[in-house]
Amino acid sequence: MSGICLGALLLKGGIRDFTVYEKAPAAGGTWRDNTYPGIACDVPSRFYQYTFAPNPEWSRSMAPGAEINAYFTKVARDTGVHDRIRFGAEVSDINWLDGQWSVTTADGTSETYDFVVSATGILHHPRYPDLDGLDTFGGAMFHSARWDHSVPLDGQRIAIVGTGSTGAQIVSDLAGRAEELVVFQRTPHWVMQLRNPEFSRVTRWLHRRSAAYDTLTYHGSRLFIESFSPALLHPGRARRFATWLIRRQLNKIEDPVLRKQLTPDFEPMCRRLIISTGYYDAVQRDDVQIVASPIDRVEPDGVRTTDGVLHECDVLVLATGFDSHAYLRPTAVTGPSGHTLDKAWAGGPRAYRTVAVPGLPNFFMFMGPNSPVGNYSLVAIAEAQAGFMLAWIERWQRGDVDTMAPSAEATDAFYRDVDAAMPDTVWATGCTSWYVGQGGRVELYPWAPKQFRAMLAKIEDEDFETTARS
């Protein structure tokens, strides 16, 4: 999504000399890789689109995954980005040589560029659980991001490890299809169960006919999402109201024992809030079982928990998430004087205002550390970050600068502000989550999205170390 965004904006600005490296055989990113049953966006469709490529044909308030993938693929083709993508080209090394970046792919091919932009996403590398006997299971087993569609599901005994957003969507879809659905829950999550209505033909017609109407609904959806920011960022009335609203969702669970089992011991929104159309309905079915006992080991016939019970199953699904702190790694990045990204991040990932790293000139990244990725539209984040990158690239085009990189002092100042603001946020109230990185540092943006856009809308020249064009 981010690579398509920047490519489209480069072309719109008349910049045509660029290459997009993509290790997969097709575009689409996470929406290409994730095809599990029930996959959908948990952000309103009208806000989960590029402002320069509105989609009047969204079918639902929160679009299904295949529809989102088709949208991004279409934008790539319509804008001409698709013609500049080098598919099946996994980047292994990026090295600064003689004033340019040398990009080397896994097959050993190298080319040089004036700028490099990382658009690898954050939920990219599947995380597999460390379970004894995992390789001994006798049935079909796969990670949710590597779904095996050749495996039949209807009438099967299916076990799902994980109850995050992905697990909740899979359970909601498979409940009633499987003979038995066993859900292994290590930690319960807060869930907001919402309807996901279809858009009418009249609504889609209005979007096709009126750009103003589409813009209105885009900003209306944005304002709705951003209205929850005060609850995330500050203690007070807004957070108390949001907490009450989320907690009362548990009233949908009629069985008090199950309700207690599904009640988290941390504050709502400390972890990513799960938006679901039917999770609480699904787990109350007779053919769905929530297992809270820890997993002891996997055996050929199923999963045995520490209470000694063997939960037999035909299919084992690992909905265990991703390594959200890898960013562009394992790609090796080496800047001037041997300065590497691994060394820069030895104490944990850091980036100047989420988009650049000291010591790495003409290098930018999408969704870098402390981007506002919690329950927000990553498309909107990408557009804000792309605007910042384009502003520097345009300066380079005019000959104003040759290289630019943020100073260590400016990056330290950004993190002093981040560290001062983070304790007020809900993410710092005491829970473990994929938001928390090395040393317990929360890698999110502790201010409102409006401040994020303003922060990246203007270049602070004094924060950068630059060299002039010779």
pLDDT in tens, 284-306: 999 999 999 999 999 999 999 99
pLDDT at 469: 85
Nearest to 96 by CA among 410, 408, 360, 342: 360
Encoded tokens for 200: 């009418």
Residue 33: helix, strand or coil by DSSP? helix
> Under a CB-based contact definition with an 8 Å cutoff, are residues 58 and 203 in contact?
no
Asked if 151 and 300 sit in the same domain, the reply is: yes
**Average pLDDT estimate for 91-98:** 97
Whether residue 161 lies inside any domain: the answer is yes
Digit-coded pLDDT (tens) for 316-373: 999 999 988 889 999 999 999 999 999 999 999 999 999 999 999 999 999 999 999 9
Mean pLDDT, rounded, of the chain: 96
DSSP per position, 149-196: TTS--TT-EEEEE--SHHHHHHHHHHTTTSSEEEEE-SS---EEE---
Residues 305 and 343 reside in one and the same domain: no
Q: Check if the beta carbon of residue 327 is closer than 8 Å to that of residue 368.
A: yes
- Same domain, yes or no, for 103 and 73? yes
Is 208 inside a domain boundary? no
Using CA atoms, how far apart are residues 370 and 355, in angstroms rounded to an integer? 9
Confidence of residue 439 (pLDDT cuts 50, 70, 90): confident
In angstroms, the CA 452 to CA 172 distance is 34
Per-residue pLDDT band at 130 (split at 50, 70, 90)? very high
pLDDT of residue 420: 97
pLDDT category at 224 given cuts 50, 70, 90 is very high
User: Would the pLDDT of 375 be above 90?
Assistant: no
Phi, psi of 351 (to 5 degrees): -150, 140
Identify the three-state secondary structure at position 368: coil
Residues 236 and 189 in one domain: yes
Give the pLDDT confidence of 145-184 residue by residue, as tens digits. 999 999 999 999 999 999 999 999 999 999 999 999 999 9
Rg, Å, the chain Cα set: 23
Q: Are 84 and 18 in contact (CB under 8 A)?
A: yes
Residue 377: band (very low, low, confident or very high) from pLDDT cuts 50, 70, 90: very high
Pair (31, 86) in one structural domain? yes
Asked if residue 177 belongs to a domain, the reply is yes
Does 276 share its domain with 166? yes
- The residue among 263, 294, 318 that closes a domain is 318
Mean pLDDT of 55-62: 96
| Measured distance CA(315)–CA(298) in Å, rounded | 12
pLDDT at 49 over 90: yes
Note whether residue 205 is domain-resident: no
Q: Are residues 236 and 121 in the same domain?
A: no
User: At 283, phi and psi to the nearest 5?
Assistant: -70, -10
Domain boundary among 318, 346, 361: 318
Same domain, 313 and 174: yes
- C-beta separation of 283 from 181 below 8 A: no
Same domain, 155 and 288: yes
Largest CA distance in the chain: 73
Residue 237 counted as domain residue: yes
Domain range spanning residue 46?
2-125+323-467
Q: What is the mean pLDDT of residues 133-141?
A: 97
* Per-residue pLDDT band at 124 (split at 50, 70, 90): confident
Average pLDDT over residues 20-44: 96
Quick check: 470 pLDDT over 80?
Answer: no
Helices (H) and strands (E) in the chain, counts: 14, 20
Examine the domain organization and report whether 106 and 194 are in the same domain: no
Residue 328: what are its φ and ψ, rounded to 5°? Answer: -85, -10
Does residue 146 share a domain with residue 114? Answer: no
Residue 123 has pLDDT above 90, yes or no: no
Domain assignment present for residue 278? The answer is yes
Q: Please check whether residue 227 lies inside any domain of the structure.
A: no
In total, how many domains does the chain have? Answer: 2
Q: Please indicate, yes or no, if residue 437 is contained in any of the structural domains.
A: yes
Residue 86: CB atoms within 10 Å: 14
Instruction: Write down which residue in 291, 318, 345 finishes a domain.
Output: 318
Residue 422 sits in a domain whose CATH number is 3.50.50.60
Strand, coil or helix: 265 = coil
| pLDDT for 324 | 84
Same domain for 283 and 330, yes or no, is no
